[in-house]
Amino acid sequence: MARPNVIVILTDQQRWDTVGPFTPNLDRMARHGTQATVALTPQPVCAPARAALQTGRYPTTTGVHRNGLTLPAEERTLAHHFGEAGYATGYIGKWHLARRDPVPEEERGGYRSWLAANTLEFTSDAYRTIVYDEGEDPVFLPGYRSDALVDAAVRFVADHHEEPFFLFLSFLEPHHQNEVDNYPAPDGYEERYQGRWLPPDLAALGGTAHRHLGGYLGQVKRLDEGLGRLLDALRSMDLLDDTIVAYTSDHGSHFKTRNDEYKRSCHDASLRVPLAVRGPGFDGGGAIARPVSTIDLPPTLLDAAGLPVPPDMQGRSFLPLLRDSRAEWPDEVFFQVSESEMGRGIRTPRWKYYAVAEGADPWHEAASPRYREQALYDLDSDPHELVNLAGLRSHLKESAELRERLLRRIAEAGEAEPVVDPAPERDSDVLADPVVRQGGLTPTRFGHQPR
């Protein structure tokens, strides 16, 4: 059998719970292919999450632990692995792993075909998309921004349909437009969704969702229509059955409920993302209910294409879970948080456990020798993470067990094993405190441009 083509579709800041009525094409792809129903980013910040998706390695391993850092030239990306196997490789859209625009060739992660901007939110707006080609020349792509990138992806596929190809298509949507702090949807789309639905965590906590969710969901809807057009184009070229298509996001959005911006927190609203894959090896795979990380996507794609998974990748292929739901697999996902605070945590099917470094500089420092337990959530009884159980005497046993698991995962990620101090002990009547009810986190402010 010929090697399959591979397309990765990456959205920016898309919540996991938008899959369904707003995304019929993605929903169909998830139901007919494979869906990881509990997928989490290893870092709810743009550049670190993207570095992990390119390399299958944790942000502290690649050195890209926050925004504004360049992916080191020696890091091996999916483009290197697929390119060495004879694939045509292409990147379209937002990169965010270089030091400037246009991105110099040595900072493009090995991609041969290039039509991208490092910070697409600053080189474009909703109806004016400027990216750069291989010669670092600006290229104007007409149409609504996500449509323009889909058009470019269709052209790439048409140009390379006679050879195996690997394409990474990276959207800005549904990220906010930075300079206006708004979510510019296509004309008429915001009105269609404003006031239609409010996720339960946002309904409980407030934030800016009442103002922004219509535009946000309008962007999600248009992304889904673009996915449908790309799948139609593959079908028209007789490539659909021979192409793996993976869809995910770099992180979610909590709409200024957990701190004073949109992400950078330990909560599922920040961490949890959509993840669906269709095509050879994935069609009919069903739902993976066990938690997986998007750091597992690179080795999974290489595995599905019949290519060796490099031993230095820290993610692992989840293909065995498609064949046997009881296959050996970690019971927790490990994640890191930077910029707003320096944090480490794990998420199991039932529990979320999180610790924060005290007195650390989360912008300049990648890790800390000491953390303090900050959050414990029982996701079975509190799926929206509204009641922080950290320090409760009734849950000290659970905290102790999760603390040991967190320490093990920190060490497995290549960090020096730190000390994690327990939270101060308290009684259950403290739950009446409104800060505790809202997750135990007071708003934090940091002086760096959110991406």
Beta bridge partners of 293: 40
Q: What is the pLDDT of residues 182-231, one digit of tens each?
A: 999 999 999 999 998 899 999 999 899 999 999 999 999 999 999 999 99
Query: 244 and 341 share a domain?
Result: no
Q: What is the pLDDT of residues 103-125, one digit of tens each?
A: 999 999 999 999 999 999 999 99
Domain end point (choices 273, 296, 323):
323
Q: What is the pLDDT of residues 241-267, one digit of tens each?
A: 999 999 999 999 999 999 999 999 999
pLDDT surpasses 70 at 447: no
Q: Please name the residue that has the structure tokens 């470019």.
A: 152
Query: 277 and 380 share a domain?
Result: no
Residue 444 in any domain: the answer is: no
The total domain count for the chain is 2
For position 280, what pLDDT does the model report? 97
pLDDT, mean over the chain: 93
Give the CATH number for residue 148.
Answer: 3.40.720.10
pLDDT surpasses 60 at 281: yes
Query: 356 and 309 share a domain?
Result: no
323 backbone φψ class: left, alpha, beta (φ>0; ψ -120 to 50)? alpha
The pTM of this model reads 0.95
Residues contacting 8, CB < 8 A, separation 6+: 53, 78, 167, 168, 169, 246, 248, 297, 301
Query: 255 and 348 share a domain?
Result: no
Give the CATH number for residue 353.
Answer: 3.30.1120.10
Domain that holds residue 295: 5-323
What percent of the chain shows pLDDT beyond 90?
90
Q: What is the pLDDT of residues 292-325, one digit of tens each?
A: 999 999 999 999 999 999 999 999 999 999 988 8
pLDDT surpasses 90 at 430: no
Domain end point (choices 288, 305, 323):
323
Residue 445 in any domain: the answer is: no
For position 435, what pLDDT does the model report? 39
Residue 59 in any domain: the answer is: yes
Residue 190 in any domain: the answer is: yes
Query: 194 and 293 share a domain?
Result: yes
Residue 414 in any domain: the answer is: yes
Q: How far apart are CA 310 and CA 55, in angstroms?
A: 10
Backbone angles phi, psi at 349, to 5 degrees: -55, -30
Residue 63 in any domain: the answer is: yes
Domain end point (choices 323, 347, 379):
323
Residue 41 binned pLDDT confidence (cut-offs 50, 70, 90): very high
Query: 212 and 352 share a domain?
Result: no
Quickly count: other Cβ atoms within 10 Å of residue 383's Cβ: 12
Query: 227 and 347 share a domain?
Result: no
Residue 229 in any domain: the answer is: yes
Q: What share of the chain is helix, strand, coil (3-state, %, to 5)?
A: 30, 20, 50
Query: 148 and 248 share a domain?
Result: yes
For position 2, what pLDDT does the model report? 82
Q: How far apart are CA 402 and CA 396, in angstroms?
A: 10
For position 434, what pLDDT does the model report? 42
Residue 165 binned pLDDT confidence (cut-offs 50, 70, 90): very high
pLDDT surpasses 60 at 162: yes
